[in-house]
Amino acid sequence: MSREKREYPDRPYVGVGVIVFRDHEVLLIQRNKEPNKGQWSIPGGRQMLGETAAEAARRELLEETGVKVDRLLLVDVVDAIIPDVEGKIKYHYTLVDYMGQWQSGESRPGDDAKEVRWVRLNQLSSYSLLEKTMNIIQKAAAMNT
């Protein structure tokens, strides 16, 4: 598999994310790669050629966490455009975010995740999530009730 140029791309890349619920908890990963290395987020990654967005979401979730979900529901599509200090676009992702209920698998870090953790929804604020990440989790939680 060829490695694409993620920094300073000539076009946006499609990424997927999955908000996984288990009772009153949501699954978070600590990112092990840039952008936002070390930051807590939802599991996800890039879509590959020939793969639907939903297939990419299921694959990335399994690779990063060892977890499977039941059916996926689309939550939102968001843009992640990250400039450098000079204002040049360093990263540009179009992110397709899904949600699902935990179905099987014991959470464990794999692939791009440094750590994986189930977090109670009322404790999310202690994880210094990016505002966009917190917003998408809150939107999914509202849809999940």
Residues 23-69: pLDDT tens digits?
Answer: 999 999 998 887 778 899 999 999 999 999 999 999 999 999 999 99
Domains and their CATH numbers in the chain: 13-140 (3.90.79.10)
How far, rounded to the nearest angstrom, does the alpha carbon of residue 127 sit from its chain's CA centroid? 15
Q: Is the distance from CB of 58 to CB of 100 less than 8 angstroms?
A: no
pLDDT at 68: 97
Stretch (H or E) spanning 60: helix 53-65
pLDDT of residue 1: 42
